[in-house]
Structure formats: structure tokens, C-alpha cells
Amino acid sequence: MKKLYEEMQNAFYIINSLVDSLDFESKDEYKRINRTYFLINKKHYEAFLVLIDYQHNPSAFVLARTILETFVKSCYLECIEKPKNKSINDFLMEKKKFPPLYAMVQELESYKHSSGSVFGGFFNQFLKKELATYEKLSFLSHSNGEYIQAFNEKGSVKLSQEDVFSVMNFMHKMFISNALFHLLAFEYFDELKLLTKIYEKTLNS
């Protein structure tokens, strides 16, 4: 657990050092929203690391769910809606609703970038038929009273070390993937290749 946490902190520092050295100014509304979503998730992930460090694991899980949803929306807009020339404001002002998360995931799994890049099963792990990651993260915020009942009876909810490690490992990979996708959206291909090479083993483990 400690080793994984140190790896997460180290990756957070390395990735941000690289990303912060690049220029992300753009008039393209899709690139701007991609940048906004990345910065939001960067802040959330930093908070996630703090919560894990202080063993506030239930709160970390709730935040992880938000990070996951934001990342999926970012990918969906860039990969699925952008080719249709849909206006970003339609989504921001809720004139057009985002599809359910599982529907977005299925569309993203069939997507292929012009560079040949694919998500390669990354999103499948969110589905119930696979690891059901999204469902697990939703337990603490959207369960049918089970979490509240347990908290009411015991004053706290303890999560297994296995579950905490699993979510930490998942979030570690997701932050790296989020950064890679951000670089791809802005066509920083050299930096994308560099980070992919550094974290290839981590992402495939």
C-alpha cells in the first residue's frame, strides 16, 4: 500500500511537471473544455491523495467517482461529439444531456483516433459484467441506504485493505490515462509517447 502511494505521488509530480511546461492556450472550444476537465480532475486527484494519506477512505471513494465521471465526459465530448460538430454550450447549459455513463463507455470502447490510438478495453472495467468499478465507487454515495445504515449503527464504515488498494491502483492508472488523453487532444504527440513509455508497465499491469 505504501509503495503504491509513493508511486502515485511520484507520477503526479512527474506528469504535472511535464504538462505545466506546455502551452494549452486555444480558441477551439473542445480543446478548452478538455483543458478545464483535466484541471478539475487534477485538483480532485490531489485531494484524493490527501484523503487516502489521512485514511479518509470513504470520502476518497466518493471523490474517485466524481473524477471518473468527469474523465468519461471529457473523453465522450472529444471523441464522440466533436466529430459531429456539436456545440459545447449545448452540454454546459444542459440543452443536450450527456448519455448515461454506461452508454458513453460503450461508445468510447468502439472509438479509434486518427492516429490509431484506441482505449483498448480501459473503459470496459467500469461495466457490471467486468470489474464493475463504477458500481463499487457508487456504493458510498448512491447505495440504497446500506452505507447510511452501516454508518448509523457503527459510526463509521471500514473498507477492506483489498478494496482500498484496488481503488488506489485504479485511480493511479486513471490519472495517467487522463494526462495521456489530454496530451492527445492537444496533439502533443512527442510528450504523449514519452509518458506512454514511462508508464506502459503501470497501465498494463
Mean pLDDT of 150-171: 79
Query: pLDDT category, 130, cuts 50, 70, 90?
Result: very low
Span 126-137, average pLDDT: 63
**Angle at Cα 149 formed by Cα 144 and Cα 155, nearest 5°?**
140
Could you tell me the pTM of the whole model? 0.89
Structural domain contains residue 172: yes
Domain assignment of residue 204, yes or no? no
Residue 205 lies in a domain: no
Position 194 in a domain: no
Specify if 105 maps to a domain. Answer: yes
Residue percentage of the chain with pLDDT more than 70: 86
Q: Which domain holds residue 125?
A: 2-19+28-187
CB of 174 closer than 8 Å to CB of 122: no
Q: How many domains does the chain have?
A: 1
Higher pLDDT, 8 or 84: 8
What tens digit of pLDDT does each residue of 13-57 get? 999 999 999 999 999 999 999 999 999 999 999 999 999 999 999
Residue 56 lies in a domain: yes
